[in-house]
Chains A and B, each alone.
Chain A
Amino acid sequence: MKSKPLIDDIDRRIILATQSGLPLEPQPYHAVAREAGISPEEVMTRMRRMLETGMIRRIGAVPNHYALGYKANGMTVWNVPDEQVDELGRRVGALEFVSHCYQRPRYLPEWPYNFFAMVHGHDRGEVEQQAQQIADLLGDADRGHEILYSTRILKKTGLRIGG
């Protein structure tokens, strides 16, 4: 499977100039333009297009959730009937404490879980309450679940494209 290039060289230069952050100066897009070697208008036009097409999810502040006191992050994993996972996935994703929510493959028999919902709480008690709310929402479709807590961050770098 070969993926077609969705971005061109100019997009790439804009991404390289912004992926670690937007310049903290009054005209940040002008600074990006200088870095990328194109006009500020072109930077803004292309970034608006990337925002509209979802290549940029959003622009703004990304809090360090640990620093805000969200110290317990629980990866809740669920065994949900395949024919129900789409509808239930959308409903679980709408819960305010769920940050990421996906269908993923099972590896039977050792890994029966096909649905992942990442939740964040101030402590494990809060995470358990959140998991219970998901269980209540799933009802009979919850054929088993677990909460995997992270115990150590082994590596964390931003997502980067190469230069």
Chain B
Amino acid sequence: MRMIALIIIVLSGGLLLYATQDFPQWADPASPASLHLSPHYIQKSMEETSVPNLVTAVLADYRGFDTMFETTVIFCAGVACFMLLRISRQTPEDRYYRHISTGVTIHIKDGGKIPDKSKEFERIDTMWTPFDLVIKTVCRFLIPFIQLFALYVIAHGHHSPGGGFQGGVILGASIILLAISHNLRTATKRMNEKLIGLLCVTGVFIYAGTGALCLLIGLNFLDYSALASVLFLDPVSARSFGILIVEIGVGIAVMATMIWIYNNVSSAGKYDEGL
């Protein structure tokens, strides 16, 4: 059976490699894809949307409908992860606490616990008990800079590589770094489950709502030049600002989804002890 599978894979791989010979050359200006629509985007995107980064203009404006459903796909991935993994029923389990001033670790069995407000003990994960001050301090120091960079990537997507997806992922990664370097409870205290779910929906809603607003004003769905009357701008700048609004929506949705998936996967749906 394995041999048959191997033969099929090698054959189909060879077929695919053979088919790539019919592809146009790399960066061939005479290839069908470069003849039809690309010249219009390259020549007109600056005067139509005033966005120097062509990729952002195509992604969020000319192909805005496509990107809206990409965001929806990411949202669906987060919801699916939540549905599959989340367990609300808590079984009694062992817990570890550290006495803060002496560093002594105590182990409490069968669901017993020390009051959460206790100033002398802090809860630690069962899988990882050592106290690592260097990692905690360095991550605490780094996270604000990572978040600042993420906001720059989202806001500067018009001029440089980047945009909602990348910025959102980096923003989510900063919270995931907090969860890894401290523990999951520290991260969920900052971004609790309800807030994450709400942000996830808000991001998609901002995107779809912008499109629906354009429709209400009287132009096509996601034709941002309709926003000119709302933002008191000329239609070209309105398209530029429409792209920014949409990118912010994408960023929020992607950030929340990344944190949501991480929380569910790393704690096996219990939101108690993570990686």
Are these two chains actual partners, yes or no?
no
Instruction: List residues of chain B with CB under 8 Å of any chain A CB.
Output: none
